[in-house]
Structure 1
Amino acid sequence: MGKSFLERLGDGPILCDGAMGTLLYSKGIFINRCYDELNLSQPELIGGIHADYVANGAEILETNTFGANSFRLARHGCQEKLADINRAGVELVRKAIKNNQVYAAGAVGPLGIRIEPLGKTSRDEARDAFRDQIRVLVDSGVDLLILETFGYLGELHQAILAARDVDPKIPVVAQVTIDEDGNCLDGSSPEHYGARLTEWGADVIGCNCSVGPVAMLDALERLRAATPKPLSAQPNAGIPRSVEGRNIYLCSPEYMASYARKFVGVGVTLVGGCCGTTPDHIRSMKSALRVGEARTTSFKVKTEVEEHAVEPTPLGQRSRVGARIASGEFLTLVEIVPPKGVNAEKEVEGARYLMSVGVDAINIPDSPRASARMSNQALCLLTQQQVGIETVLHYTCRDRNVLGIQSDLLGASAIGIRNLICITGDPPKMGNYPDATAVFDVDAIGLVNIVSNLNRGLDIGGNTIGTATQFTIAVGANPGAANLDEEIRRFEYKVEAGAEYAVTQPVFDLALLEEFLKRIEHCRVPVVAGIWPLSSARNAEFMRDELNISIPDAIYNRMARTTNADAARAEGVAVAREMLQAVRPMVQGTQLSAPFGRYSAAADVLEVLGSSDSACA
């Protein structure tokens, strides 16, 4: 070809191609298909699109391999074809290039899963997956790699490392996807991701997808001041609009062409398009770049001053709950469920009563069993304001993406909530709304990592948030889990992520609790045992058979022998008192449930702590 890609980049702006998926969809390929597999099953279709882009002036062709990694291919049962799909992707680009002075770029997208610290896939596993794909692309003869549409810097870092593992000299274009404010999906600002990607050795740094030309131009102006590296820009053809049920991109080729020159004016040297762009857009952009012999502008790079994480506030100073955990004092929590409406008078009065009998804090769950109730954060605030007792916010990952989670937690900190129990949460289809959808961007392990970062003054992108939060971090634990090995493994991850104590599912079987405590001895944090006063034999059946909580036959038979509702409730309290006495020497606290809002039952159970404490003194 003559000049290498990086040499050509130094001569002035170079034009990349546009969207692949947009054109495939327009040609009748449904979005549930594996677009990467079309390299094998419909090569003429893919090759024709490549040829159209070359004919309209593209100087870089990206392989149709954006999702051709093992994780994404597995969703379509195509993981065994990984090498064939990537190899065919390069061959189709090479065939379309023929004798033209066009560079073949291996397209590599995110894995489609969360990696640590936000997910259970390790960094090493992610790096291995990227390496497997990149090795095939490089061995097949690409001139450069375009790592594109990454929303999380940690994952992009692993892709860059994998590229360097395969070939330290292969040119790497590293592109993030951004929001309207120019920030990465993990919250990283242009100043932050510009500095990080420079540090990690990307040859070209830029943005693609998600936003149109205007927002991308704003981000690139800031990015230019953060890195001396060449910049790239591949925006969508505007924000898609729904027209008769289809997403339509409305930016004309002429409009995109005008912004191609504006990108070059702020220092961009690699220009192209993403979703919604077509060969017509690329032709217009090519003409605009020729007119006036467009040249990039030089900018002085500002060196980012890295703000380091702060030391978290000592646990004992964050809250009264934290102080009891830190000092080894026995902690008592009682659960109060939010009301199914706007009137929380019963719940607030229940909290007032429980405080009067010596309960340390109120734990407020988040829409238990995925039902629609008052926000537990709102009830926490009402309870703390009107009663003065501390609350523990039960926070789940079900309904929020990672940015929503971060916003919620910052808000909770601002209004004085200091205690969290971080859990994954029930899918909404388990509740009263079978058509409701869930998000589950992260699970409890990822959530603990997010909170730990906030306690160190950092957001999920590693950027400073100013004043650090001061949350105590609890997690859930299930001693009776069907797969105890998996439960222990996840517990280890939670502790590693920053969990400071654990609250168990209701305990009725002491042998299971003893075994669990023995198994976590190597990663032990204080454990608060869940205690549930059963209200009837039917309640016991429900917990045993539908919630899969282990209830020994002896306890079930005791409940079954009761003759009326009052006797059943009294027996349930008696069983709970016995359980609390038995677990007291093993654990650092208890969380009591109050079935059906019977807060007096919880207080009756707690009375046993007086004699238990004196016996242990």
Structure 2
Amino acid sequence: MTFENYLNNKIMLADGAFGTYFASKYGTGALPECANITDPSKVIDIHSDYIKAGANLIRTNTFACNTLNLGPDMKKLGDHISAGCRLAFMASSLYSDTSDIQDSNTGIPNTGISYTDQSGSDENSDARINDTNADNQGKRQIFVAGDVGPIPFIPGQDDEKISEEYFFMVQTMYNSGIKIFLFETFAGIDNILKSLNWLKEKKENEPDLFVWVQLCSNQHGYTNEGIHVRNIIKELSAKKLVDAAGLNCGIGPASMRNILDEIDFTGIKYVSAFPNASFPQGMLSRPIFSGNEKYFASKMEEILSLGADIVGGCCGTSPEYTSKIAELDLSTKKSHAFKGEADLSIKVREKDSSFWEGKTSKKLIAVELAPPFGADDKKLMDSANALTKYNVDAITLPDSPSGRTRADSILAGLKVNSETGIAAIPHICCRDRNVISLRSGLLGAYMNGIRNILAITGDPVPTLMRQEARSVFNFDSVGLMKVIAELNREEFYRDPITYGGALSYNRPNTSVELSRMIKKIEAGASFFLTQPVFSDEDIEKLAFFKDKMKEANPDVKLFCGLMPLVSYKNALFIQNEMSGINVPDEVIARYKPDMSREEGEMVGVSVVRDVIAKTKDFSDGYYFSIPFNRVYLLDKILD
């Protein structure tokens, strides 16, 4: 019987947590996946405990198998995954009367790997199998799902490399005999799309393959990427990538039941639910779960009444939880009765508050003003008020650039806007805040009238400060844009936030930055600000990016970065100490060490005017970073 045949007739009961049960059973904080090689009998014991408790589906002990946890050696990663698959099949064979891919002697998928117990125990894996076979009576079919967990996010990670690692995991499982592929505890699907599409193609010739994604959310349905699970499941359904979808981890059964009821599962054939034993409580570095089996089973019964097809447990659950669920009626299939989301047709945009709205006949001007290091905002506000006479369209406010604390960009932006009437564009970076704080800040900004935002990943915390401050980086700027897009759909639809990103045209690898730009556009970015431009070479690069921008979305705007260097010393500093800004020697040569202040400023004005003349045919506007807040230079530049 295939997995789908089973699901068409009965509710599938899966196992519970591996990691937390492994820790409690063996009194260890070690990574359970390492035991696939070092202590395989312990892995088989846990699988066996769940099967004896009533589970008909077990997941391979591979959830945390990735190069961040196991090291960069791909062979080592492959060995641990293959071992995890083989051990699950070994445990399954003790109780199962069939196997999808069988070795002629053992009934276990033959991956060519043998296992011995390296823990120092007197019992080895073969003895463990023989003992269990001797005691086992009444075999039944036990299914094995290959378990793929999320690779932890690292700032600056190469998304393509991460995608390839997932692909390697899936191929390794496929070659190890896995036919049920479970991607669980995911906050988004971008990095597994290659794997999902590959499996979709494989399934055309191997219809017994089964592809399944489970998402992890908070009690309100939002993932760590700030996206509501219903929107991700809608995407999975639209792309026809999976056979089953559902939720796991993060929350207890009552919250999961409520969130499941909000999701439209149209197009998803089977629905799954694997809650935690309870909402986790922090205890030092290890979460503690306080649920009880009887309550858990009662809530799982409610989830079953909605039509869930596959149920199991996640963190904090154990075989005792599985046995309680097994006492429920799992033989009667129920139709899906999830209510789904409310009618979204009433969510109509009523207003456009982008800082360029109604200004189609001019080059747009944005000026950066840095919030102060201290509480004295006189220089900031003097400069902001001075800009009112230059017909400036927006003032941008950086978010503690270079990891040095400044006044909050959102709050500073609110004050600038309220006093000058000029649109404020606070930069919001991912370095200092997790998704909870970022969403909170965005909601507060919106309540107070902020409608334009620059989403950036953020500079790292300086080395000398890392004992006092830690970077957060739940995600990068693309992830932040997705959070804003989600809020625009759910909360701000009447007058959505306009957001843009940075364009680092000077990256050594142009293709990487081009890919990043396209991802930002796909995430909803409607404008880009660049680093200051000085050379003809950089102007050519910028024109290239603008052409690609038009191909992706002709409405996206490009703001060419401009910086009037005001002295020889200022020019040397920017050339040598500011990464990402290319100041060629011929520009430096236009300055003299003994120039007066006025002479230095006029050279800076002249250089900027030259760049404007060379970019006016493709740039939608200009983004000024003016040293030392000398905003009066705009009078000469824009004349």
Which TM-score band applies after superposition, normalised by the shorter structure?
0.7 to 0.9
Whole-Å Cα distance in 1 between the matches of residues 495 and 297 of structure 2?
44
Alignment counterpart, residue 543 of structure 1, candidates 549, 574, 585: 574
Q: Is the 8 A contact 2:371 2:398 kept in 1?
A: yes
Whole-Å Cα distance in 1 between the matches of residues 389 and 228 of structure 2?
48
* Cα distance change on mapping 1:254 and 1:310 into 2, 3 Å: closer
Say yes or no: does 1:593 pair with 2:633.
no
TM-score (norm 1): 0.79
* Cα distance change on mapping 1:336 and 1:255 into 2, 3 Å: same
Cα offset for 1:61?
A: 1.4
Whole-Å Cα distance in 1 between the matches of residues 489 and 586 of structure 2?
51
Letter in 2 for 1:92: L
Give per-residue Cα distances to partners, 1:384-403, cap 9 Å, x unaligned.
Answer: 11222222322323234456
Letter in 1 for 2:62: T
Q: Is the 8 A contact 1:194 1:227 kept in 2?
A: no
Partner of 2:187 in structure 1? Answer: 151
Between 1:203-212 and 1:541-550, the stretch displaced more is 541-550
Whole-Å Cα distance in 1 between the matches of residues 76 and 531 of structure 2?
43
Cα offset for 1:240?
A: 2.5
Q: Is the 8 A contact 2:347 2:494 kept in 1?
A: no
Cα offset for 1:207?
A: 1.8
Q: Is the 8 A contact 1:369 1:431 kept in 2?
A: no
* Cα distance change on mapping 1:444 and 1:105 into 2, 3 Å: same
Give per-residue Cα distances to partners, 1:326-377, cap 9 Å, x unaligned.
Answer: 43x2333332211234453442232112213444432211112222222211
Say yes or no: does 1:104 pair with 2:143.
yes
Q: Is the 8 A contact 1:13 1:295 kept in 2?
A: yes
Q: Which runs of 5+ in 1 are unaligned?
A: 611-617
Q: Is the 8 A contact 2:559 2:623 kept in 1?
A: no
Whole-Å Cα distance in 2 between the matches of residues 479 and 193 of structure 1?
31
Whole-Å Cα distance in 1 between the matches of residues 334 and 539 of structure 2?
68
Q: Is the 8 A contact 2:261 2:340 kept in 1?
A: no
Q: Is the 8 A contact 1:234 1:271 kept in 2?
A: yes
Matches within 5 A, 1:187-336: 200=240, 202-223=242-263, 229-243=269-283, 245-286=285-326, 288-289=327-328, 298=335, 300=337, 307=344, 318-321=353-356, 323-324=358-359, 326-327=360-361, 329-336=362-369
Cα offset for 1:63?
A: 0.9
Give per-residue Cα distances to partners, 1:388-438, cap 9 Å, x unaligned.
Answer: 222232232323445654554455445333433333221123685653222
Whole-Å Cα distance in 2 between the matches of residues 74 and 246 of structure 1?
17
Cα offset for 1:211?
A: 0.7
Whole-Å Cα distance in 1 between the matches of residues 614 and 389 of structure 2?
26
Cα offset for 1:152?
A: 1.9
Alignment counterpart, residue 61 of structure 1, candidates 54, 58, 63: 58
Letter in 1 for 2:71: H
Cα offset for 1:92?
A: 0.8
* Cα distance change on mapping 1:358 and 1:487 into 2, 3 Å: same
Cα offset for 1:180?
A: 0.7
Alignment counterpart, residue 373 of structure 1, candidates 383, 399, 406: 406
Say yes or no: does 1:522 pair with 2:547.
yes
Letter in 2 for 1:79: M
* Cα distance change on mapping 1:322 and 1:445 into 2, 3 Å: farther
* Cα distance change on mapping 1:219 and 1:554 into 2, 3 Å: closer
Q: Which runs of 5+ in 2 are unaligned?
A: 96-138, 550-556
Cα offset for 1:277?
A: 1.7
Between 1:528-537 and 1:213-222, the stretch displaced more is 528-537
Partner of 2:489 in structure 1? Answer: 458
Q: Is the 8 A contact 1:127 1:162 kept in 2?
A: no
Partner of 1:419 in structure 2? Answer: 452
Between 1:239-248 and 1:399-408, the stretch displaced more is 399-408
Letter in 1 for 2:173: L
Where 1:181 maps in the other structure, the secondary structure is coil
Whole-Å Cα distance in 2 between the matches of residues 228 and 334 of structure 1?
49
Partner of 1:613 in structure 2? Answer: none
Matches within 5 A, 1:470-481: 471=498, 473-478=499-504, 480-481=506-507
* Cα distance change on mapping 1:370 and 1:578 into 2, 3 Å: same
Runs of 4+ in structure 1 deviating by more than 6 angstroms, as ranges, are 125-128, 224-228, 303-306, 308-314, 557-560
* Cα distance change on mapping 1:467 and 1:156 into 2, 3 Å: farther
Cα offset for 1:210?
A: 0.7
* Cα distance change on mapping 1:44 and 1:504 into 2, 3 Å: same
Where 1:18 maps in the other structure, the secondary structure is coil
Q: Is the 8 A contact 2:85 2:146 kept in 1?
A: no
Whole-Å Cα distance in 1 between the matches of residues 504 and 159 of structure 2?
22
Whole-Å Cα distance in 2 between the matches of residues 80 and 357 of structure 1?
62
Partner of 1:86 in structure 2? Answer: 81
Where 2:21 maps in the other structure, the secondary structure is helix
Partner of 2:603 in structure 1? Answer: 575
Partner of 1:469 in structure 2? Answer: 496
Identity over the aligned pairs, expressed in percent? 27
Alignment counterpart, residue 385 of structure 2, candidates 331, 352, 365: 352
Letter in 2 for 1:180: Q
Q: Is the 8 A contact 2:227 2:483 kept in 1?
A: no
Whole-Å Cα distance in 2 between the matches of residues 490 and 336 of structure 1?
26
Where 1:579 maps in the other structure, the secondary structure is helix
Letter in 2 for 1:469: P
Partner of 2:425 in structure 1? Answer: 392
Where 1:145 maps in the other structure, the secondary structure is strand
Letter in 2 for 1:578: S
Partner of 1:121 in structure 2? Answer: 159
* Cα distance change on mapping 1:279 and 1:465 into 2, 3 Å: same
Partner of 1:44 in structure 2? Answer: 41
How many residues are paired up?
Answer: 577
Partner of 1:615 in structure 2? Answer: none
Where 1:458 maps in the other structure, the secondary structure is helix
Give per-residue Cα distances to partners, 1:513-547, cap 9 Å, x unaligned.
Answer: 3342354353265442321434672x445433332
* Cα distance change on mapping 1:12 and 1:305 into 2, 3 Å: same
Letter in 1 for 2:576: D
Q: Is the 8 A contact 2:307 2:338 kept in 1?
A: no
Give per-residue Cα distances to partners, 1:161-188, cap 9 Å, x unaligned.
Answer: 4433333332344322221124445566
* Cα distance change on mapping 1:468 and 1:152 into 2, 3 Å: farther
Whole-Å Cα distance in 2 between the matches of residues 494 and 226 of structure 1?
29
Whole-Å Cα distance in 2 between the matches of residues 578 and 89 of structure 1?
66
Give per-residue Cα distances to partners, 1:17-58, cap 9 Å, x unaligned.
Answer: 111112344436546x5x445323332232222222223332
Say yes or no: does 1:429 pair with 2:462.
yes
Whole-Å Cα distance in 2 between the matches of residues 510 and 595 of structure 1?
19
* Cα distance change on mapping 1:39 and 1:264 into 2, 3 Å: same
Task: State the superposition RMSD in angstroms.
Answer: 4.1
Letter in 2 for 1:576: G
Between 1:359-368 and 1:78-87, the stretch displaced more is 78-87
TM-score (norm 2): 0.76
Partner of 2:635 in structure 1? Answer: 606
Q: Is the 8 A contact 1:145 1:173 kept in 2?
A: yes
Q: Is the 8 A contact 1:331 1:528 kept in 2?
A: no
Between 1:511-520 and 1:381-390, the stretch displaced more is 511-520
